[in-house]
Structure 1
Amino acid sequence: MGKKKQEMSQVYNNSNNEFIFGENGGKGKHLSSFLKNLSLTGTSSTSSVHSANTDNIHEINSNIYGTLGYSSSKVSSNQSNSGPPPKRSVSYKDLDDDWDADIDVSTDSVVRRSPDNRNLSRVTKVESNTSSRSSFNLQPSPMLDSLYPDLTLPATNSSVNLNSQKPTNEESLDVEDYRTTMEINRLNQISSRNNKFRNILISDSIVNLQDLRKLAWNGIPSELRALTWQILLGYLPTNRARQASTLKRKRQEYLEGLNASTIDFEDTAPSNSSSLYHQIKIDVRRTNQSIKLYGYPETQQSLRKLLYLWAVRHPASGYVQGINDLCTPFFQIFLLNYIWQLQQRVLSILEADTYWCLSRLLENITDNYIHEQPGIIRQVGDLRNLISKIDLELLNHLDHEGVEFLQFSFRWMNCLLMRELSISLIVRMWDTYLSETPLGFNNFHVYVCAAFLIKFSNDLKEKDFQEILLFLQNPPTGHWKEKDIELMLSEAFIWQSLYKNASAHLR
């Protein structure tokens, strides 16, 4: 055990305030009294009372601070009182580790300097008839960090100006330059990202699927989304030399399937078709009614064709209400890709590409649409178990109100949240789903639904049974942007990393 430091006690002005100091100084037991005594060391006055007590103050400071160096320049008694008051300079050198600075005290100003004599602050002149105020006039440049402009915020003046002034022309130009620079950097980032996609998709003879997935997870440029989706789904081969022949063969196969059908797909045809086609026709009319594109007869006819052909070719599951929603993102993305040459022949190409990509998607979630839909039942159960680990309080509230997860999350699994989010946000979300291995429409979607439910946790905890169901049937997502979807996807990824393949954590 180390040797105890030598201590001393000092009683000042017959008060009861006791200060304990080590051999190198330190903090007092009574901080308010200590600061009061400390203020005596920085007080300057030209009064005769101060002059008479100068020696006493010197002695007191020497006793309080121990080994602290103390020196002063005394005022000459022969100096005329008619002239300006003399300046008194006092220098302190503290030996403590918590405050290492030199202080120069004069009657006009107080300047605190660090040991390397750099100016850390400025304190304005103290006048006897007004209270002292400190003013820090900092005028930083609008560009705080030229190396990372995307992380830079406009600089603001830290001083409090009671009389607000309009920015000068020079300041306005600085802000405008800053905004222009930020916009240029944003465009450069977009261009750089597009170039990375093109290098993967076009430059090499074989598309590196792993690199494409890694890059597409954070979003795909709109002009390259159609090609990227087709490759990620496996509709197009990664060998670029075989892509053209594959497209030709698949599109011809789709046309042959339609020609073999006996159904008249015209909207004005008499209603003598099968019950399957009748159900598809009804659901297509209900599809995305808020989007004008899906109200056109040509669009509805194309959707009826590809949905009917898929249903007759997959008798194990057949057509299930909700599949009509799943084909719309493909149809809309491929339409944007072919719209510059839109004609009757291109419509068949658009239908064929949508049909095959929908088929690839449904292969990953077949259990969701077969008899009794066991895939959806399993996903709903996994969602409940996941919420029990993430937000047990929310789960207890839902149980207390008698809300079953199947009552609100069945549609989330059946339609992949397409009834809850806008089509543009669904497209962004599918960029990430298609980048997952395996595709994220099955397991990863459960974690996304958990993140989606947690978004409204605080609101749901304050509602009763009926209010909860009404809220979840029409959640307030109309104002959501892509950044909201990206945040939700990031949270889902974190939870998947924690709980994937850890079934014990989900029970």
Structure 2
Amino acid sequence: MALYQKTFDQFEAILKCDMIDIKKLKALAFNGCPDENGIRSLTWKILLSYLVLDRTKWALHLSKHRELYRGYIRETIIKPGLTPSSESAVVDHPLNSAPDSSWAVYFKENEVLLQIDKDVRRLCPDLSFFQRETDYPCSEILNQEAGFESLRKRIESTSLKVENRVNSRLDLQYQKKANHSKTTYDMNEYQWLPDGHEAHWEVVERILFIFSKLNSGQSYVQGMNEIIGPIYYTFATDPNLEWREHAEADAFYCFTNLMIHIRDNFMKIYDHSEFGILVRMQRFLILLKKTDESIHYLFEKQKLKPEFYAFRWLTLLLSQEFRLPDVVRIWDSLFADQERNFEFLLYICCGMIVLQRDRLLNGSESQNIKLLQNYPQDIDVYQILEKAVELKRLYVL
């Protein structure tokens, strides 16, 4: 308890300085952020380069970016053919087949929106948080200002079929992990809240939709919901009311900054780049061989390719392998990684395997793939992190 209080006091001291000592903050955060006083929420905003290090500039910085985000809402969630200032300013029509037709773009975006909606509805199914009502719904949408429509209404009115959803290389692994066996889209999987109210998953949906529109070259890919989920949860449960009120905007910027570093995982075009997923999986295998040649040989013998398990581990930053409290603890260390290329994640993955060494060496191919795709939940995540630190000290990639 004395050690915890000392750590807590050290965080408080750093975060109250006019100029944040980022090196000291990273060193502390790497060993875990306290849950109290919103320390993790504030630390993540700094580590993800959303908040500048000069604390005296925070008020202006936050005001500017939060208002900019509200502008994104006004610009992106809008009916084609209308402007927010005039409902009668018809400039297009739904049957216009021209490539530059705003309605054609609108219908194409609906395919992305449908996939986002399907994914965010199943965020952290063991946790009721995302199904609960937010205290801070979007005022522009709920007031139904001219030209604006809620994504809820847009989804209800679409006639899209599930066959048109966004394709993802994570489909098979993701659905198996989520125990999502439905082959058709069920919009009643979770009931909507009454008009004028929004659930937290609807806020996440809006963040991802806006992100997809502002990043058309990348758009939305299945699995991004598992990246934004822990970030939004951390911000939306901040004990500070002001931080909690602006959790949506703050989460958007932190998610956007994080995607700059991990976008290669989600785009096939970058598979063979330095930080592409195929190259990262090869680096993982090299590290595994250095760490434990017996396990590496067994995996080769049983043809347990990293695509079967490590692909999801690396792409989703282990967000699907552990309960949310354990995920955010792991992310403390990942965000504080001094190298900022998430190389420490490779050591965590190897640590996970080393800690299951005996079971793996005595398991059949089918038993081992089941173990790797459904990692045991009873293991202490701190034990995994300690093993990862030990491996990083012994083996250099």
Question: Given the two structures, how large is their TM-score scaled by the length of structure 1?
Answer: 0.56
Matched, 1:491 2:387: yes
Matched, 1:209 2:22: yes
Matched, 1:356 2:253: yes
Matched, 1:257 2:72: yes
What corresponds to 1:237 in structure 2?
A: 52
Quick one: which of 330, 335, 344 aligns to 1:429?
330
Task: For residue 268 of structure 2, give the secondary structure of its aligned residue in structure 1.
Answer: coil
Q: Do the aligned residues in 2 keep the contact of 1:317 with 1:371 (CA within 8 Å)?
A: no
Distance (whole Å) between structure 2 residues aligned to residue 196 and residue 443 of structure 1: 26
Task: For residue 329 of structure 2, give the secondary structure of its aligned residue in structure 1.
Answer: helix
Quick one: which of 180, 195, 209 aligns to 1:308?
209
Deviation, 1:340, is 4.7
Distance (whole Å) between structure 2 residues aligned to residue 313 and residue 493 of structure 1: 38
Quick one: which of 444, 456, 469 aligns to 2:369?
469
Supply the RMSD in Å over aligned alpha carbons: 2.1
Deviation, 1:322, is 0.9
Q: How does 1:108-187 map to 2 (within 5 A)?
A: 186=1
Q: Deviations over 1:110-149 (max 9, x none)?
A: xxxxxxxxxxxxxxxxxxxxxxxxxxxxxxxxxxxxxxxx
What corresponds to 1:195 in structure 2?
A: 9
Matched, 1:299 2:135: no
What corresponds to 2:290 in structure 1?
A: 389
Deviation, 1:359, is 1.1
Q: Based on CA coordinates, which of the two structures has the bigger radius of gyration?
A: 1
Q: Do the aligned residues in 1 keep the contact of 2:291 with 2:395 (CA within 8 Å)?
A: no
Task: Give 5+ residue unaligned stretches, structure 1.
Answer: 1-185, 265-270, 503-507
- For structure 1, which segment, 227-236 or 311-320, has the greater mean C-alpha deviation from structure 2 after superposition? 311-320
For 1:327, give the aligned amino acid: I
Deviation, 1:339, is 6.7
What corresponds to 1:419 in structure 2?
A: 320
What corresponds to 1:125 in structure 2?
A: none
What corresponds to 2:309 in structure 1?
A: 408
Q: Deviations over 1:363-416 (max 9, x none)?
A: 111211223451111111111111111111112212222221211111101111
Quick one: which of 61, 78, 81 aligns to 1:246?
61
Q: Do the aligned residues in 1 keep the contact of 2:277 with 2:315 (CA within 8 Å)?
A: yes
What corresponds to 1:446 in structure 2?
A: 346
Q: Deviations over 1:311-339 (max 9, x none)?
A: 22222322111110111111111112157
Question: Given the two structures, how large is their TM-score scaled by the length of structure 2?
Answer: 0.71
What corresponds to 1:319 in structure 2?
A: 220
Deviation, 1:286, is 1.9
What corresponds to 1:23 in structure 2?
A: none
What corresponds to 2:355 in structure 1?
A: 455
For 1:208, give the aligned amino acid: D
Higher strand share: 1
Distance (whole Å) between structure 2 residues aligned to residue 415 and residue 435 of structure 1: 17
Runs of 4+ in 1 over 3 A off after TM superposition: 338-342, 497-500
Q: How does 1:281-296 map to 2 (within 5 A)?
A: 281-296=117-132
Deviation, 1:472, is 1.5
For 2:361, give the aligned amino acid: K
Q: How many residues align?
A: 299
Higher RCO structure, 1 or 2 (CA under 8 Å, sep 6+): 2
Task: For residue 191 of structure 1, give the secondary structure of its aligned residue in structure 2.
Answer: helix
Deviation, 1:341, is 6.7
Matched, 1:365 2:262: yes
Task: For residue 438 of structure 1, give the secondary structure of its aligned residue in structure 2.
Answer: coil
Distance (whole Å) between structure 2 residues aligned to residue 250 and residue 259 of structure 1: 14
The alignment-based identity, stated in percent, is 25
Q: Do the aligned residues in 1 keep the contact of 2:304 with 2:365 (CA within 8 Å)?
A: yes
For 1:443, give the aligned amino acid: E
Distance (whole Å) between structure 2 residues aligned to residue 355 and residue 341 of structure 1: 16
